[in-house]
Amino acid sequence: MRSVLAERLLVKIMQWKPEEISKERPMLQALANFKYDEYQQFSPGIRFMESLVKWLTQFKELEERRVAYAFIMEHLIFISSNQLLHLVNITFADKINPIIIEKTAKFNLFSKYKIRKIVISSSYKFFLRRSLFIGLSDGSKIDLLRRSYPRISNEQVLATYSVSEDKVNDMIEELKKSKIAHKKFNTVFLVDDFTASGTSYFRKKDNKWGGKIFKFINSLFNPDEKSAIAGLIQEDEILDVHIIFYIATEEALKMLNDNINQFKTEVTGYNFHFSIHAIQILGEDIKDRVLKDKPFMELIKKYFDPNIVDSHYTMGKHAEPHLGFNECSLPLILNHNTPNNSLPIFWFPDDKQYLGLFPRVTRHKDE
């Protein structure tokens, strides 16, 4: 009944004619049923149709509502739980396995195209077992990644790089049981679900390096910052670090690559190689199309609440904060939460001046 009422209100506020109703209603119902209703941050009792009506109502003029609606139908990208699960499930085959295969082929002087010969070899098992898989956040779904390939042991998977000495000792003992005598891990896969700017992973601000990946690398090689996890890494070998995102923008991948390369030129004693991968890459054309929609750009400037700009927000570019964190200008919604790199008009929390179509729950807040 609520959705029926919402549809009637939508027809009223959009002033649709009968032919427009017959065109738009089936599409909206399909989008709501197959994707948008699963958004996890809707308030209790609220689904997409109700949220859409409330969101559109805040725009004062009919033409503004039409501009906003047209943008949603033409540009919005919604990643559902099934789509994200698919990306997780293909990560091993698409990105991880080729890396293990190539290492095995080089070691045995095999052609890397002789896949079956490689994967049944003892060397392949050796290199796979010496690979450590670490989730960079709860969004990494590292448990699902482990289950996607049964040959990955639970004793080579960590939900975070902050681990205790006892856990490190247990993992070393399990390595010994697997007949890898006197050997530790020499390959690390750092996994996370999404990055749009890369700043939370490896950044330089006020002449200081920071970010999750920096902290991990620093905890291994900096004598003053070493943590328990350093005990898992083979010290007399070059460490291979492979950073994998399920979804990433081209901009973030380039920024991370540039920053880590710059960092390596500034330090000594950090004995590692790295590579960066993404299963689903969001191209620059997405941002370009958004910025070219001039009517919508004017709309989101008008309906912008500057109260979202805090110390965390200003860690990225923010001359035009209505474009989202670091001015990423993404029309992207993830089923569990909307990233702050998306346009704020989509994710304004419930306590702000304007409503978000897919309200965001913010993890980092100024007190």
Average pLDDT over residues 29-45: 93
Lowest mean pLDDT among 21-35, 84-98, 106-120, 321-335: 106-120
pLDDT > 50? residue 337: yes
pLDDT of residue 197: 93
Local confidence band at 317 (pLDDT 50, 70, 90 cut-offs): confident
Position 311 confidence tier, pLDDT thresholds 50, 70, 90: confident
Mean pLDDT in residue range 135-162 = 92
Query: pLDDT band at 108, cuts 50/70/90?
Result: confident
Across 191-195, 276-280, 315-319, least confident range: 315-319
1 band by pLDDT with thresholds 50, 70 and 90? very low
Among 166-170, 188-192, 255-259, 289-293, which stretch is predicted with the lowest mean pLDDT?
Answer: 166-170
3-state secondary structure string across the chain: CHHHHHHHHHHHHHCCCHHHHHHHHHHHHHHHHHCHHHCCCCCCCCCHHHHHHHHHHCCCCHHHHHHHHHHHHHHCEEECHHHHHHHHHHHHHHHHHHHHHHHHHHHHCCCCCCHHHHHCCHHHHHHHHCEEEEECCHHHCHHHHHHCCCCCCHHHEECCCCCCHHHHHHHHHHHHHCCCCCCCECEEEEEEEEECCCCCCCEEECCEEECHHHHHHHHHHCCCCCCHHHHHECCCCCEEEEEEEEEEEHHHHHHHHHHHHHHHHHCCCCCEEEEEEEEEEECHHHHHHHHHCHHHHHHHHHCCCHHHCCCCHHHCCCCCHHHCHHHCCECEEECCECCCCECHHHHCCCCCCCCCCCCCCCCCCCC
**For the segment 156-178, what is each residue's pLDDT rounded down to a tens digit?**
999 998 899 999 999 988 888 88
Mean pLDDT, to the nearest integer, of 234-256? 96
Average pLDDT over residues 235-245: 95
Confirm if 181 and 234 have CB atoms less than 8 A apart: no
Any idea where the domains of the chain sit in the sequence? 2-75+285-347, 81-282
pLDDT value of position 367? 47
Q: CA quadruple 361, 362, 366, 367: dihedral positive or negative?
A: positive
Give every CB contact of residue 191 below 8 A, 6+ residues apart in sequence: 91, 133, 134, 135, 136, 140, 142, 145, 244, 245
Asked whether the predicted pLDDT for residue 31 surpasses 90, the reply is yes
Mean pLDDT, rounded, of the chain:
92
Q: Taking residues 70-96, what's their average pLDDT?
A: 96
Q: Is the pLDDT at 257 greater than 70, yes or no?
A: yes
